[in-house]
Structures are given as structure tokens and as C-alpha cells.
């Protein structure tokens, strides 16, 4: 075979494989409350640039009007101007805007009153995808997911003739939540605490498999400022946000931060890499205060699992893997 032809065939096979492997992802975050959401967005953007993921949209569960413009600045920096953003229609939970307002202002961005709400945009985007293909990663509060479950067919005249549960069942492969604490079930984890009824509804009613990355995972996996400083350019809005959030130069070091949200994203894009063990299927009983009590089951129609470190991939290894994702090309 002529080498040029062989090269063409190889390139075609590679392109086809890449296209096949590109995982459609929607990301829902409380950006502006903690910096781990920012580093999580970096992973989603970079996996999209590499052709492993296709970031379809980002929704905010943070009621701050600066969440969306802050995320716009980050997405634009990473070359993802095409990714649409949506905000939360419910003013529930804390609406911090420390670093989101800063990076939005730095990029000359302001809140846009025409921003769609997350449920409307999710319904539109899900309806356009192949059946059973979309992975949803949620690293904030469960507000938008609960409202999606509650949405009726033709929600606000959107022309999508499926209810929220029907649409999810048809289009979603699985949902991943950074939420709960499976080492200390009596503890109310932050994302759960901000909207307990929404979390309870999602865990009980979501009609696909659900994976949870609990507090106990991210708390021991650190993102290190020394590494961020080395790998992200000073003008990178995620680095600017990181330095602002951790008070770099204003508060004493160390300026490291746990990586709750990144573990959820890493698992969701690359479940086949087996970075974590899974416990389950489990039912999760959500207490009145937001306790998350898991019971192992033999069989479930829509199983729930929570992540656990593998013996041969301890927290230090996961930290190294995440650090590799932050490095700017
Ligand atoms: Ca978060």
C-alpha cells in the first residue's frame, strides 16, 4: 500500500474513533462558591479540545448574577466560546460572586438579562442529542436537576413533547453528583445542605444510573498552588480566580485546596479508565437534615453507586492525574 494512502486510512480510522469516543457532557455548577468548580471546568474544556468530551452547556445552580459571566470569561479563555450558559431560576442557596465577578469584570463582561434558565436550556440540548448518550455532571446544588425532573412536556412552549423524567430516561446515560458523605453518613455535606429537598428528589427519582463522588473523596485530594502557578499563565482567569479565592499574597500559605468537583468530572469523562472503585448498587436514604445513608442492594432498575479510592490508585495518584489536567498546552 502506498504510504500516503496508508496514512489517509489511518487518519480516517483515528478520526472515526475520536468522534465515536467523544462523550457529550452537560455541566451544572455553583461556580463562585469555591474554586474547585473552576478547575473542574478546566478539565471539561481540555477534554473537549482533546476530542474526548463534547461540553454541550454549563448551567449554574448559584443564584449570583455573576456566575454566568464569570464562567463565560473562563470558557472564552479556553477557546470554548460556543458553549452556551444558563442560570438558575430559583434564588436558593448562597450566591457568592467573589472570583466570578472579578474575572468577568477583567474580561469586560456583565450579567446578561437574556441568559436562559438551566432547565429550559437543558431540555432543548438534551432533546437534540442521540438517545442514551449524555452524561450530566453536577458539582453544585441539585436545584436545576430537581426542576428538570419536575418539568412538563412542552415546558414554557419549548416544543419538546416529553416530560422531564421521559426526556432524561431517553437521552441521559448517567448523572454524576459531587454530593453526600459516605464515610460519615450523619454529616450533611455542603451541596446537599443548600437544597435538601432537591437532592432527595434527584437521588430518589432520577431515572438513569447515578454516581456520587462524596465529600470524603475530594477532601484528601489536593490541588496545589505551586503547581497551578507553574502550569497556568498569570492572565488565565481560572488562576486569577484561584489566587483571589485562596487569598494568595494576602493570607499566609499554604494555598492548596481540596478537589471535590474535579473527581466527579474525571470519573464521568473516563469511567472506562477505572480511576475509582464503585460501591453499589445502593439506595441512598436522605435524612431530614441531608444525611446520606447508603444501603447496598442486589439489583436496582436505576442503580446508584458512590466512588471509593482503589488500593492501587490512592489519593496521591489521583492528585497527580488531576494536576496533569491543569497544565496549559
Ligand atoms: Ca461546587
- Residue-wise pLDDT tens for the chain (329 aa)? 444 544 444 444 444 444 447 999 999 999 999 999 999 999 999 999 999 999 999 999 999 999 999 999 999 999 999 999 999 988 887 889 989 999 999 999 999 999 999 999 999 999 999 999 999 999 999 999 999 999 999 999 999 999 999 999 999 999 999 999 999 999 999 999 999 999 999 999 999 999 999 999 999 999 999 999 999 999 999 999 999 999 999 999 999 999 999 999 999 999 999 999 999 999 999 999 999 999 999 999 999 999 999 999 999 999 999 999 998 87
| 32 CA → ligand 1 middle, Å | 8
Strands (E), 98-233: 134-138, 172-178, 210-213, 222-223
| 236 CA → ligand 1 middle, Å | 20
Q: How far lies 108's CA from each of 81, 101, 111, 209, in Å? A: 15, 10, 10, 41
Encode pLDDT of 149-175 as tens digits.
999 999 999 999 999 999 999 999 999
Four-CA torsion 142, 30, 287, 296, nearest 10 degrees: 70
Cell numbers representing residue 97 in the block: 460572586
| 150 CA → ligand 1 middle, Å | 23
Across all residues in the chain, what is the average pLDDT?
93
pLDDT at residue 26, rounded to an integer: 98
| 29 CA → ligand 1 middle, Å | 6
* Under 8 Å between Cβ of 37 and 140: yes
| 34 CA → ligand 1 middle, Å | 6
CATH code for the domain defined by 24-326: 3.90.245.10
| 31 CA → ligand 1 middle, Å | 6
| 37 CA → ligand 1 middle, Å | 5
Q: Which residues contact 188 (CB under 8 A, 6 or more apart)?
A: 196, 289, 290, 291
CA–CA gap between residue 103 and residue 48 (Å, rounded):
22
pLDDT at residue 5, rounded to an integer: 45
Domain assignments of the chain as residue spans, ordered by start: 24-326
| 78 CA → ligand 1 middle, Å | 20
Residue 193 CB-density burial (10 A; 0-12 exposed, 13-18 middle, 19+ buried): middle
Amino acid at each position: 500500500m502506498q504510504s500516503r494512502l496508508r496514512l489517509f486510512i489511518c487518519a480516517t480510522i483515528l478520526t472515526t474513533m475520536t468522534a465515536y469516543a467523544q462523550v457529550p457532557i452537560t455541566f451544572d455548577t455553583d461556580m463562585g462558591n469555591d474554586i474547585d468548580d473552576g478547575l473542574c471546568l478546566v478539565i471539561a474544556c481540555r477534554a473537549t479540545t482533546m476530542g474526548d468530551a463534547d461540553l454541550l452547556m454549563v448551567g449554574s445552580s448559584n443564584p449570583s448574577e455573576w456566575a454566568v459571566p464569570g464562567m463565560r470569561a473562563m470558557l472564552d479563555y479556553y477557546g470554548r466560546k460556543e458553549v452556551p450558559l444558563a442560570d438558575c431560576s430559583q434564588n436558593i442557596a448562597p450566591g457568592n460572586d467573589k472570583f466570578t465577578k472579578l474575572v468577568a469584570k477583567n474580561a469586560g463582561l456583565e450579567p446578561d438579562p437574556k441568559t436562559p434558565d438551566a432547565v429550559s436550556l437543558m431540555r432543548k440540548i438534551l432533546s437534540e442529542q442521540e438517545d442514551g448518550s449524555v452524561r450530566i455532571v453536577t458539582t453544585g446544588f441539585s436545584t436545576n436537576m430537581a426542576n428538570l425532573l419536575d418539568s412538563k412536556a412542552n415546558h414554557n412552549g419549548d416544543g419538546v413533547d416529553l416530560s422531564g423524567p421521559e426526556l432524561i430516561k431517553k437521552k441521559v446515560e448517567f448523572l454524576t453528583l459531587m454530593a453526600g458523605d459516605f464515610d460519615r453518613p450523619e454529616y450533611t455535606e455542603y451541596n446537599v445542605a443548600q437544597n435538601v429537598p432537591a437532592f432527595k428528589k434527584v437521588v430518589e427519582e432520577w431515572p438513569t444510573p447515578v454516581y456520587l463522588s462524596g465529600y470524603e473523596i475530594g477532601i484528601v485530594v489536593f490541588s496545589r498552588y505551586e503547581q497551578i502557578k507553574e502550569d497556568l499563565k498569570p492572565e488565565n482567569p481560572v488562576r486569577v480566580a484561584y489566587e483571589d479565592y485562596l487569598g494568595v499574597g494576602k493570607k499566609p500559605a499554604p494555598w492548596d485546596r481540596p478537589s471535590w468537583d474535579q473527581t466527579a468530572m474525571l470519573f464521568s469523562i473516563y469511567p472506562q479508565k477505572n480511576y475509582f472503585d464503585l460501591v453499589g448498587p445502593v439506595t441512598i436514604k436522605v435524612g431530614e437534615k441531608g444525611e446520606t445513608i447508603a444501603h447496598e442492594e442486589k439489583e436496582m432498575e436505576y442503580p446508584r453507586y458512590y466512588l471509593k479510592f482503589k488500593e492501587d490508585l490512592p489519593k496521591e495518584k489521583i492528585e497527580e492525574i488531576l494536576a496533569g489536567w491543569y497544565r496549559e498546552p
